[in-house]
Structure 1
Amino acid sequence: MKVIWRNLCQYSKNFWQHWISFIILFVGMDLANQLIFIPLFRLATTYILQAGGIPFISYQNIGILVTQHTMVVIGLLIELVLLLLVIYWQFAFLLLGLRLILGNQASFKRLMKESWIAIQNIRPGSLPLMLLYFILVLPFVDLVFRTPLLSKVQIPEFIFDFMTRNNMLLAGLIVFYVIITILGIRLILTLPLMIYQRRRTRDALVRSWQLTRKLEWWQYVKRLIVLGVVTTISLGLFYLLIFGLQTLMDLFPGKFAFVMAIFNLTLVQVISELLTIWTGTIALQIVISLLDDFSTSDEQVRKSSWHGWTAIALLAVFAGSLAVVNNYYYLKGSGLTRPVTISHRGVAEENGVQNTIPAMKKTHRLHPTYVEMDIHETKDHKFVVLHDENLKKLAGVNKTPHELTLAQLTRLTAHENGHHAKIASFDQYLNAAEKLHQKLLIEVKTTPTDSKGMLKRFNRQYGKRIIKDHDLVHSLDYRAVARLKQLNPKLKVLYIQPYNFSYPKSVADGYSMEYSTLNFEFIQQAHRQKDVVYSWTVNDSNVMKQMMYNHVNGIITDNLGELNSTIKDYMGSKSYANRILNFILAVPTSGGLEP
């Protein structure tokens, strides 16, 4: 442990000797991502899809996309190649910047030149191998070589939630993560070898595997673990100090507490960013220490040249100023709007069986704005309130809704959460909701076995009634969304998206977006088009606060009681200390200067 601590102290000393250089390096990369790369790639994806007349990519249109929209597929593949090259360039920029800074040779012009050379050394045949490498080891490599662009690449949380509910899938998920963790550890040197020694991808992969054999990898993993613990404890103590300090400041009368709150919140962002950069710099030094031939340069050491960094420094100051202005309005409570509360599948804190009338009646007592529920078409072309495409899990019958009539379905009893209740028809559920004056968010489930006139029949039977009750409709099938809007333009229909690929642009009146890939930029773009954005399925208090901070219009949750108390805490708190705490819990502070 003494050796590890001595190494970390040396790496930390290296950082503080060049801390301004490292801040400019990392902040410059962050600004390039936020202002250039991320917006450009989102615009490119949106433009390519719009040019092909495709509003969104989903599992339902991927087959049609591949077979009927060749030029769109080619455009997306070209964009994927460019994305891969940009990610690799960012790795080169950070690693080469680290070497130049440690060698007192920091020069923007030289760094750009060397990182460009690194890109030129990539051979077209290496791209598929690089893509496979990133897919396999990204969850681990991202802990060391982390950039804002990489943070956008993630698996939606609902997939993890689904897999953890089944023992076989959970076991598979654990095995998968064990494998990619081992691969990430053994292949961590691939990128430094490609960038520093200009090795080909295949050669770098083999050499990394050789250098980490016989538990050689354990020496850097131990250091990374200790670094993570130190960072977590330091950040936690700092947040606790700021919270305690602001709690005292809140006792002072007048505007003093408010001014100090702005200062303290800005300090939280700055220190969080600084600590993130410190951690990233040390993590990079830990990894490259395994390369025996690592050196700064054969050239004579000279003083740093900062002429090329002036624009970056000015942009950083500008971003910091925007952060201060944002903090002013956040602490003042300006622009905060209470999100609508939506009970997922009509239950709250497991108070009944999903999509059943007894559960909806209990949930109604918690005053949700909407009760979200699901409908399927039956064998006799009617509608039943049900989420799953098979009845085995809830009712113990291995049948689909299309194999049974509505009368047969409503005779079945569903069991869940220690409760039981009869499966309801949509008419029964709608009648019960109207008696309670409870608004609904109706998800229209579609399957390949649906009748051709299903949507037309649904609109004819329920369209006017839904509009009168101020209910909403949403669907995961964009074709259903577009068809319903065509049949009844007055019907409010939202499009459910499991992943955020591009900017919002469709015939839908809004979006129900899976929360883990939903960001402020998407919400802002949707609001400019007068569309609403609801996030699903948000069951954690901190994520609820994050969604509110990003100005989401509504939150779909299984824990309605917790959502109500979180909204009260977030929206109603008059304590600046609590608002700072909410910010810390709600906003990923690794990007502390991000608005």
Structure 2
Amino acid sequence: MLRALKEDFFLTLTSLKNQFWVYIGTGILIQTLVAYLVKGILSFIFRRILILSNTPAVTKDNWTLLFNHPLALLLFILYIVILIGFIYTEFAIYTIAILKTEFSLSIKKWLTIFPKKIKSLLGPQLIWVSIYLLLTIPLANLGLRSSILEHLKIPDFISGELTKTVFGKIGYSTLLLLICYLNLRLIYFLPLTILTDYNAKEALLESWKLSRGKHQWRLLSKIILTSLFISVIGTVALAVVAGTFSFIDHSGNNFPLQATFYNLLKSILFAVTLLIKCLIISHLLADIKQNKSIVQQWRAWKGVQHKQKFKHIACVILALAIGTTALKNAIALALLQDNISIKKELIAHRGDTSHGVENSIEALKAAHKAKADYSEMDVIMTKDHKLVVIHDDNLKRLSGMNKDVSKLTLDQVTKIPIHQGRFASHIPSFAEFMKTAQSLDQKIMIELKPYNQNLDIYADEFIKEFKELRLSTKHKVMSLNLTLIEKVEKKLPQLDTGYLIPLHWGTLQNHNVDFYGIEEFSYNDWIAYLAQEYNKQLYVWTINRDNLMIRYLQSPVNGIITDELNLFKVINKDIKNSPNYYQRALQLIDSEG
């Protein structure tokens, strides 16, 4: 085993030495295609789909509209075909670039069979391609993810809810391990579809054969060894660059120098990710080359290489790509102060759950003690049309009882004990919770959860209780249900109302609400810009990881909904105390973690 690891290590070194600039050049070329061509084409088609579907955006509530118009459906199929075509082309370029030094492969000749290759992946074979792509989503940027899919992941609000219980954590972790295993067994899929006449199903089966037995463990060791080796080199390079620029510019305020510093850091991170991907592909190709029949197939792609002509074109593209990216990074660094200057409100998600059961009086008091700007909570209507504070309609997760709040009376619900971790409490009524908040002078962000109930009755009951309690309009109210929150806005316009958006693709509509709450998965700068244009506040949820906290504290959002109150305060303080470009550049890099 040690001998095999030694051989793999030296193979990595040799590949890195011989093809370093091939890897870098190919990676920059592909990133340029993604940024300036592929994303533009896909965005154009997607906008046409939205227009034909008569909707400005796709959400969890209206995604079926995509299939109501025949032409929209055809464009959606075209969108998928182009997406698969690019993913396939991306890895084909990497594969041929790596192999062409040894086999003098011609990309021009390969392109002549490209239509046939794409056709073999469509039709009934599209099912197998889709299965493979879906299996890569939970692993974020690990393995052989395509550049166009690098930000696609399971939304945190889904994984977060799945891991709220011990059983959920075990189940979710087991599922991820299974997906990792399947990714390892199917890792030869893309190279095989590129280098052979296999259709998608045949390539999956062949990959399963190639990665069976002891070979899968050696393959795993190659991937781990390669990733560790390149990561260590990258870490050392980052440290050297950071130390050098800290020494050159003690104040950290020389913008040209610090813009160069930021660009170098970004370049190193890009190179690390790219080299790991290329070296993994190189290892896979080394394994596939053991099959002589496959080698014989790609020998047919040999052709005359127009090296000088290709090099000139490549140099122009690379120069433009590097220059444009460097300028974009410099602008991002320069504009960062504008985003930092926007006060970020701290919203305790279901209270401070590190000191009490979620949505409990204890969690509310702890959130107030932690000086949260708002304590967020959830409201459900009982069978007798009264409001209680709890997130799930079903009581099993917190009480162990398989009963629904919406099918019980107020008196029944408030007598049920609840437990979470080492904490115990009871389910408070809306009145009890808000009276406690009033006594603490704590602002509340109220989420209305109707759970298939009559929206008019729900809205009227909420407004009735709100008025009876003589609650201050400094509180905010929001809902995932747009119809419900617009009813509240119409009947109680002096109250700040908000629309919660969990999944969103497209433009942001100017709804009759005062603010938006968007899940991190769906956030982008365009949505933030539109919210500002509409003169509405924008909150993002649920931010619990260090890199995401840094990213959104440096974004133009107005507030962050989080379970990690201390993390928010520590990072926010660090950002506020970062007066120079050097520190801001490091924080931007940390946010990309």
TM-score by length of 1: 0.85
* 1:11-47 C-alpha deviation (Å, 9 max, x unpaired): 102223xx1x543432232233234434554564465
Contact 1:96 1:196 in 2 (8 A): no
Equivalent in the alignment of 1:592: none
* Range with bigger deviation, 215-224 or 392-401: 392-401
Alignment of 1:6-405 (within 5 A): 6-16=10-20, 19=21, 21-38=22-39, 40-42=41-43, 44-45=45-46, 48-49=49-50, 51-54=52-55, 57=58, 76-100=76-100, 115=114, 118-137=117-136, 139=138, 143-249=142-248, 251=250, 259-292=256-289, 293-294=294-295, 297-300=301-304, 303-304=307-308, 305-309=310-314, 310-311=316-317, 313-330=319-336, 336-347=341-352, 350-395=354-399, 397-405=401-409
Provide the rounded CA distance (Å) in 2 between the counterparts of 1:483 and 1:146: 44
Q: State the shift of 1:456 in Å.
A: 3.7
Q: State the shift of 1:73 in Å.
A: 5.9
User: 1:209/1:359 Cα in 2 relative to 1: closer, same or farther (>3 Å)?
Assistant: closer
* Range with bigger deviation, 45-54 or 335-344: 45-54
Is residue 589 of structure 2 the alignment partner of residue 584 of structure 1? Answer: yes
Provide the rounded CA distance (Å) in 2 between the counterparts of 1:342 and 1:176: 31
User: 1:377/1:333 Cα in 2 relative to 1: closer, same or farther (>3 Å)?
Assistant: closer
Amino acid at match of 2:268: I
Provide the rounded CA distance (Å) in 2 between the counterparts of 1:583 and 1:489: 39
**SS of aligned partner of 1:346:** coil
Q: State the shift of 1:538 in Å.
A: 1.6
Provide the rounded CA distance (Å) in 1 between the counterparts of 2:38 and 2:463: 43
Provide the rounded CA distance (Å) in 2 between the counterparts of 1:395 and 1:143: 38
* 1:243-284 C-alpha deviation (Å, 9 max, x unpaired): 4344445645x955x554333222111222233332222221
User: 1:585/1:166 Cα in 2 relative to 1: closer, same or farther (>3 Å)?
Assistant: same
Match of 2:563 among 558, 581, 584: 558
Provide the rounded CA distance (Å) in 1 between the counterparts of 2:27 and 2:131: 26
Provide the rounded CA distance (Å) in 2 between the counterparts of 1:241 and 1:483: 58
TM-score by length of 2: 0.85
**SS of aligned partner of 2:307:** coil
Equivalent in the alignment of 1:593: none
Contact 1:463 1:491 in 2 (8 A): no
Q: State the shift of 1:196 in Å.
A: 1.9
Contact 2:49 2:66 in 1 (8 A): no
User: 1:510/1:467 Cα in 2 relative to 1: closer, same or farther (>3 Å)?
Assistant: farther
Q: State the shift of 1:118 in Å.
A: 3.6
**SS of aligned partner of 2:447:** strand
User: 1:580/1:151 Cα in 2 relative to 1: closer, same or farther (>3 Å)?
Assistant: same
User: 1:460/1:89 Cα in 2 relative to 1: closer, same or farther (>3 Å)?
Assistant: farther
Amino acid at match of 1:85: G
User: 1:103/1:489 Cα in 2 relative to 1: closer, same or farther (>3 Å)?
Assistant: farther
Match of 1:431 among 429, 435, 446: 435
Q: State the shift of 1:97 in Å.
A: 3.9
User: 1:154/1:541 Cα in 2 relative to 1: closer, same or farther (>3 Å)?
Assistant: closer
User: 1:88/1:497 Cα in 2 relative to 1: closer, same or farther (>3 Å)?
Assistant: farther
* 1:502-537 C-alpha deviation (Å, 9 max, x unpaired): 332252544323324534444344444444332222
Equivalent in the alignment of 1:573: 578
Q: State the shift of 1:545 in Å.
A: 0.1
The root-mean-square deviation of aligned C-alpha atoms, in Å, is: 3.5
User: Percent of aligned positions with the same letter in both sequences?
Assistant: 24
Amino acid at match of 2:24: I
Provide the rounded CA distance (Å) in 2 between the counterparts of 1:93 and 1:502: 30
* 1:64-92 C-alpha deviation (Å, 9 max, x unpaired): 75997787666545533443333333333
**SS of aligned partner of 2:437:** helix
Q: State the shift of 1:125 in Å.
A: 2.8
Which blocks of at least 5 consecutive residues in structure 2 are unaligned? none
Q: State the shift of 1:132 in Å.
A: 1.9
**SS of aligned partner of 2:287:** coil
Q: State the shift of 1:442 in Å.
A: 1.0
